[in-house]
Amino acid sequence: MLQEAARGFLSESAPVSQLRALRDARDELGYSRDLWRAMAELGWTGILIPEEHGGLDFGHMGAGLVCQEMGRTLAASPYISTAIMAATAIRRGGGPGQQARWLPAIAAGEAVIAVAVDEARKHDPAGTALRAQASCNGFRLDGHKTFVADAVGADAIIVAARTGGEPGEAEGLSLFVVDARAQGLDIERTLMVDSRNAARLTLDGVQVDEADALGPVGGAFELLETVLGAGRAGLAAEMSGIAQESFARTLGYLRERTQFGRPIGSFQALQHRAAHLYCEIEVAKSAVLAGGQALDRDPTGAGFLVSLAKAKAGEVARLAVAEAVQMHGGIGMTDAVDIGLFMKRARVAGEWLGDASFHAGRIARLRCF
């Protein structure tokens, strides 16, 4: 029922044409505030939030269904960064005061919170170098972050910082909730190929209190991995939706486009490619399902299946959009059809929180290869 409701709502209220309009207007936010409020009214922003804080507590399976349908229409919103990652971080690592302040606001669609982890071209949580030096009753943050989704217009940003150890080490990492208007924080918008909202952050003497920390100071790597796992599962579900919709649109085109007096879908070479893609999409759907189930069972022990889902969904989405462009022919390379927009989002979502190679390596380490 949730999936059907999401599909109907997004098809009507957030079609691909809305993303085109945001892109053409070079909208700074990259999403519609009205759409975000409507998602909150439907309860989607509270799917991972406990009922006592105004949420539905419907689990990662429910959140994944919503993400999948967002992938089908390329609906732009801060859903993964805020309703999934930030909600998970505050629910599992926040104190009573932080939970009371932020969780009801997220559930009501009144707060947007970004998560800042990466500092280089590739995803590397343990490589965090941004320093948090003890200062007065808290910490002084100095460093930079890159590829911070939904940072523009956010109310707060959860920042991964190093209070000890060296870059590359899991020990010594901490998470802090930083006010987006804090003195010393500069948010520079980054133009993304998928027309979404992202930014580069520079922190120069940003002051935070110890009460702003999520999880244990210097020992928040496990919490960070849980937060990233939730985001990766959401992205995997979104990419599964992208692959499914790209395939559906391609099948429609194969049935309609004629060449040599017959539909091109009747050509065996294209049928073989379509059959192969269908099988790959079904495997990816199973991996995404397994990742969501694993998170609902044990968020701290779901790393293997979540990485499997992110890697497989990323590879399949990339294949699906490439085949879609190829089988659409020359028009597939133009802006006249939507396939190019699906390709751009698939590439960005595949990189965010680790590409297929990153997760293949992570799976190998988890399996002690």
Please give the pLDDT value at position 190.
Answer: 93
The predicted model scores a pTM of 0.97
* Mean pLDDT calculated for residue range 84-97: 98
Asked if the model's pLDDT at residue 267 lies above 90, the reply is: yes
Query: Residue 137's pLDDT is what?
Result: 85
Task: Give the CA distances from residue 181 to residues 25, 153, 177, in Å, rounded to whole numbers and listed in that order.
Answer: 25, 10, 12
| pLDDT given at position 53 | 98
Give residue 339's pLDDT band: very low, low, confident or very high (50, 70, 90): very high
For residue 369, the model assigns a pLDDT of 85
- Alpha-carbon dihedral sign for residues 47, 217, 213, 238: negative
- Asked if residues 284 and 346 have their Cβ atoms less than 8 Å apart, the reply is no
Collapse the DSSP code of 13 into the 3-class scheme (helix H, G, I; strand E, B; otherwise coil) and give the result: helix
The model's confidence at residue 191, banded by pLDDT at 50, 70 and 90, is confident
Domains of the chain by start residue, with CATH: 2-111 (1.10.540.10), 114-216 (2.40.110.10), 222-366 (1.20.140.10)
Q: What are phi and psi of 137, to 5 degrees?
A: -100, 15
Question: Which tokens hold the place of 340?
Answer: 């190019």
Looking at residue 202, its pLDDT comes to 98
The residue-averaged pLDDT of 341-367 equals: 96
Band (pLDDT 50/70/90 cuts) for residue 230 is: very high
Share of the chain above pLDDT 90, in %: 97
pLDDT for residue 49 is more than 90: yes
**Separation CA 127–CA 112 (nearest Å):** 26
Instruction: Report pLDDT digits (tens) over 123-144.
Output: 999 999 999 999 988 999 999 9
Decide if pLDDT at 54 tops 90: yes
Confidence of residue 162 (pLDDT cuts 50, 70, 90): very high
d(CA 369, CA 365): 6
Output the average pLDDT for the chain. Answer: 96
For the stretch 240-251, pLDDT in tens is: 999 999 999 999
Model confidence at 271, in pLDDT bands (50, 70, 90)?
Answer: very high
pLDDT in the model for residue 75: 98
Is residue 233 within 8 Å of 68, Cβ to Cβ? no
pLDDT at 330: 87
Q: In sequence order, what are the residues at sequence separation of 6 or more whose Cβ sits closer than 8 angstroms to the Cβ of residue 366? A: 303, 304, 307
Tokens matching residue 192: 């993304």
